[in-house]
Structure 1
């Protein structure tokens, strides 16, 4: 009896990914959990300040991926829940993210100086006034309509007569 149930209880193993260059990873769960833990540790060790967008978003991603992988042993459930490709692709994504963390720390992308502020301010001004059309200008023949999902077409009496005449003519 146990032998009959053992196949049902055993976790499914992926034989191939179907993606060229991505062999099936039999220990995908351990790899993903290890990479998520490494990512959280690397964020702490690289001195990226808490509250910056990069750190917060990556912490949330690492924690969420880790939580999903801890909750199940089924790779299809993980792939469907994360919606980021196959587990092998998720492993590559996490490895790339681990490579990016020290680079972002080196670039110090969260710091801005007066030149950056001036540049952004100048760009915003030139984009806002890119052309000489007054802000209150409404082009002629433009109507602002709201659509309620029902096509309401109005025809002139001449158009109705033309449509009736066309409907009465025999089709060739």
Structure 2
């Protein structure tokens, strides 16, 4: 009941302005109505909180749960959670995940890759190393024989969990540098 048709434009949202630019020449322009902002309606008694705009400013904190094994570039979408406006449908909030580089591991799909330096003595006589994994547990990498430079050892099940199937994991691929 407080929303009335704009009297300045007759509810059309536009006004026709005529201007004489020279004797016998009249220019006619159509412009957005300044009274109603092109909406064709005006609020008679404006709300003190929103000042008649039908929206209020505010902020909200969103907690985003990132599932195990989510790949780089994955999007998490909160549908219809963006800004609201009475004249429009609320949009979506989208988070695009980017993985940061790690000093020890490099991700390759489900697999994790790493390089391990060995001394000549370790390469010839064997070695045992403890590697702290991303989730905090310790992985033991060892060999009792000789290890060549560039050799890649696969440690099964010590890679990244597969998204939506966290019990399925990739492998840890260790490349040796002698």
TM-score, structure 1 normalization: 0.20
Query: Which of the pair is proportionally richer in strand?
Result: 2
Larger Rg: 2
